[in-house]
Structure 1
Amino acid sequence: MNLTNQDAERLANGGVQALQAGRAGEARRSFEAITQSGRANAQIWLLLAVACRQDADAAAEEAALDRLIALEPRAVRGLIMKGDCRAQAGDDRAALLHYEIALRIATDQDLPEDLRSEMRRAEAWIAAQKERIVARREAALVDRGWPAEKRSARFQQSIDILAGRKRIFVQEPTGYYFPELPQIQFYDPAQFDWVPAVEAAAERIKGELTALLADGLEGFRPYIQSATNQPRAGDSELVDNRDWSALFLCENGKRSDDIIARCPVAWDAVQAAPLPHIVNSPTVMFSLLRPGARITPHTGTHNARLTCHLPLIVPPGCRFRVGNDVREWQEGKMMIFDDTIEHEAWNDSREDRFVMIFDIWRPELSAQEREEVAAVFLGPAAD
């Protein structure tokens, strides 16, 4: 069919008016005349799809949508309608794909209210569909002999990630990255032969700390400090804030002999651990978190080490998260974790929380690798 521009415009306007009046068949004939002439653009194919939907012709609607999406792959309304077609046909996987693509594209667009309503409908469908998928997967696992109580912790974490209940967290050091190390949030303290000796000393270390605290918090200083000749460390509310404070037995490799003299048990206990004696290490400190304070999510500087917490004074309501795993400190029970995985802490109690913190070499590093890393942290050789 040969149409002039004026003919095509007249048919398009008439089709829109017919749609608005509820005359789907008439509208469809107008738009089909344009498509048969070869003059149809993406908008005409969309209008034809809408008319076919009103005319209850699902096959024709989907065919028109396929032509639309071929011309305009980022057509949000067309992708949602295509998802509707697939959902109606029972093809939930394809429906989910089209809805999710539409949602991703829509984040960059200023949508009219009616299309935002369609987006909310698609979001609700996606949420319900994912719940159905999770339920079917859980039922299948139970049927195959793997109820939740029998699953390994790592397998259950994979299922939680698959279901969207947990995220994938990886090492994100702010400085140095050593490759091919396992992505473990919390290590099992039982894997370290020096841990029992440190835990056995916990009550005496707590006694040393209590004696220090009898003189108040003198010596404790904000853990995050700004420098006059450097920019402030982001916008953290804890910069120069004593709500998160530290008293150092050893800071970045520099001993505080006066504190060590008052805490000999603490200092002797950590010597059993593989402390990284390199430039700027080790660090051994008492960490104070005041009531109501929160340490916001952050990551450490390098992944050649692990961080150890020996909880000493911990009121109820103090929590610590590494990656997906949220735990409460238990007095005298060691926590060992990878601080290059995002972590944060809260003190939701009305009392101060005190933990002894120190770093150790990662157990996966060989003796040679430890020497190599130490050489890196020495910096460039002098001329």
Structure 2
Amino acid sequence: MNQIEVEQALRAAAGARQAGQIDRAARLYGDVLTKAGEHPVALNALGVMALAAGSFAQAAILFRRALAVDAAAIDLWLNLATAHRHQDDAPGERSALAGALRLDQRHFMANVRLAELCERSGDASGAAERWRGVLAMAPLIEEPTPAMAAMFAHARSFVEQQQAGFAAAVDADLAPVRASHSVGARRRFDASIDHLLGRRQIYPNVCAGLHMPFLPADEFFERRHFPWLDQLEQATEAITAEYLALRGRHEGEFKPYVAMAPGTPANKWSPLDNKLDWGAYHLWRNGERDDEACARCPRTTELVEALPLARIPGRAPTVFFSVLEPGAHLPAHTGVSNVRAIIHLPLIVPDGCTFRVGGDTRTWRKGQAWAFDDTIEHEAWNRSTEQRAILIFDVWNPHLTTAEQELLAEFYPIADRHGYAAPDDAGS
């Protein structure tokens, strides 16, 4: 047979198959093999016919013969895997699927079939790994069939159950050694394990302005970096009294924290724009001291001025009373520069007021201060029916050296003289 005759014979055989003339199709495919030698199309067709007839061992022989001629045909490897599956030959099926994946590691059906094989064989870890790969490819399928949708649902459920079981086993075995260390000592370790187990995200610094590299991306800074927090907390009642006096005598001087220029396109801050849902009364703003405001809050001013504030001409410090109205939500956002640490001293905190920095969500407690990095994504909620009020100010990031602080304080005035337009940020 020449090539044209082979193609004619294959078409005739395929037509006979489609017409249900199985015996005639088998004879035509056999003629191709007799007259033209081992032809992968004919061998594959005969193998598929053997599968349909339940002759699984014969089908496997035919598929292997076809692969001996065309080992780059993924469908042949998948068909061979099917033949082995029907014979309950797990090693043979795994070997055939491996052959397909050697040609294309991202072949969808090869990964599905291997996930199913691992699951049937009791290899939960291997099945979860393969199902994860299948789920990663799912978005590429624009219109999945109902059967595929059901398969994806099974894959997600299997992965979640396997992950939960793995996490429970790890937690149980780690419990004794964890108990021998304080929560603070194992903070980073716990975060790393939670990330590995899919229980939390690790958030990087996202700076709209100057980004100081090589600083730890701490969500909440360790308290030991701020030994003066005890002194600040002891003054909570005095600071609260001055805040309440402001509310009583100068209520109208609290301003919306968010005040966008007219014509600003709608964005996540639009619901708060020029509204007192998030209100502020500034003692310092962008490094400028408001003498009149400070005179109204002498004890607060005295305490704050004694602290190691971040002092950057035209930038810092910023010190203000921050007020969230009932039901207010500050959307997830990041600040300008990681050279600062932001201090919160809660003054009036009804139940239902929470604050998230990265993967750590905390509840404000009156008189319990904390420091955080506002260039890590953060957001706030007041889910109560009352106002929440805190004192906010910025100090230097505790990981900066004295030399870096001095250099930064010199940089900004120089940059401003040469037209540097930094993002506007008065705190977080």
TM-score range, shorter chain: 0.7 to 0.9
Contact 1:246 1:288 in 2 (8 A): yes
| Structure 1 pair 355–27 and aligned structure 2 pair: CA distance change class (3 A) | same
Q: CA deviation at 1:337?
A: 1.0
Question: Which stretch shifts more, 42-51 or 279-288?
Answer: 42-51
Q: Which runs of 5+ in 2 are unaligned?
A: 11-28, 30-39, 420-428
| Structure 1 pair 217–81 and aligned structure 2 pair: CA distance change class (3 A) | farther
The one-letter code of the counterpart of 1:312 is: L
User: In structure 1, what is the Cα distance between the partners aligned to 2:360 and 2:343?
Assistant: 16
**Where do 1:1-383 residues align within 5 Å?**
4=6, 6=10, 7=29, 12=44, 24=56, 28=60, 31-38=63-70, 41-89=73-121, 91-110=123-142, 111-142=144-175, 145-146=176-177, 148=179, 152=183, 153-154=186-187, 155-215=189-249, 217-228=251-262, 231=265, 234=268, 236-278=270-312, 279-378=314-413, 379=415, 381-382=417-418
RMSD: 2.9
| Structure 1 pair 68–185 and aligned structure 2 pair: CA distance change class (3 A) | same
| Structure 1 pair 107–243 and aligned structure 2 pair: CA distance change class (3 A) | same
The one-letter code of the counterpart of 2:76 is: I
Q: CA deviation at 1:290?
A: 0.9
The one-letter code of the counterpart of 2:106 is: R
User: In structure 1, what is the Cα distance between the partners aligned to 2:296 and 2:182?
Assistant: 47
SS of the aligned residue for 2:384 comes to: coil
| Structure 1 pair 270–233 and aligned structure 2 pair: CA distance change class (3 A) | farther
Contact 1:233 1:239 in 2 (8 A): no
Q: CA deviation at 1:64?
A: 1.8
SS of the aligned residue for 2:354 comes to: strand
The one-letter code of the counterpart of 2:285 is: E
Contact 2:72 2:103 in 1 (8 A): no
Question: Which stretch shifts more, 174-183 or 18-27?
Answer: 18-27
User: In structure 1, what is the Cα distance between the partners aligned to 2:393 and 2:367?
Assistant: 14
User: In structure 1, what is the Cα distance between the partners aligned to 2:274 and 2:73?
Assistant: 61
| Structure 1 pair 352–240 and aligned structure 2 pair: CA distance change class (3 A) | same
| Structure 1 pair 115–266 and aligned structure 2 pair: CA distance change class (3 A) | same
Amino-acid identity (%): 36
Q: CA deviation at 1:18?
A: 6.4
| Structure 1 pair 229–236 and aligned structure 2 pair: CA distance change class (3 A) | closer
Contact 2:207 2:334 in 1 (8 A): yes
The one-letter code of the counterpart of 2:237 is: E
The one-letter code of the counterpart of 1:259 is: A
Contact 1:62 1:85 in 2 (8 A): yes
SS of the aligned residue for 2:271 comes to: coil
SS of the aligned residue for 2:117 comes to: helix
User: In structure 1, what is the Cα distance between the partners aligned to 2:292 and 2:416?
Assistant: 33
Q: Which runs of 5+ in 1 are unaligned?
A: none
Contact 2:327 2:385 in 1 (8 A): yes
The one-letter code of the counterpart of 2:115 is: G
User: In structure 2, what is the Cα distance between the partners aligned to 1:126 and 1:150?
Assistant: 31
User: In structure 2, what is the Cα distance between the partners aligned to 1:298 and 1:28?
Assistant: 59
The one-letter code of the counterpart of 1:114 is: A
The one-letter code of the counterpart of 1:207 is: A
| Structure 1 pair 72–363 and aligned structure 2 pair: CA distance change class (3 A) | closer
User: In structure 2, what is the Cα distance between the partners aligned to 1:268 and 1:48?
Assistant: 82
Residue by residue, what CA displacement relative to the aligned partner does 1:147-197 show, whole Å, maximum 9, x if unpaired?
557554423333323322222123222221112222222224454233233
Q: CA deviation at 1:251?
A: 1.3
Q: CA deviation at 1:319?
A: 0.7
Q: CA deviation at 1:16?
A: 5.2
User: In structure 2, what is the Cα distance between the partners aligned to 1:124 and 1:96?
Assistant: 10
Higher helix share: 2
| The structure with more radius of gyration | 2
Q: How many residues align?
A: 380
The one-letter code of the counterpart of 2:332 is: P
Residue by residue, what CA displacement relative to the aligned partner does 1:225-252 show, whole Å, maximum 9, x if unpaired?
2113755655653233321121111111
The one-letter code of the counterpart of 2:391 is: M
Q: CA deviation at 1:33?
A: 4.7
Question: Which stretch shifts more, 38-47 or 240-249?
Answer: 38-47
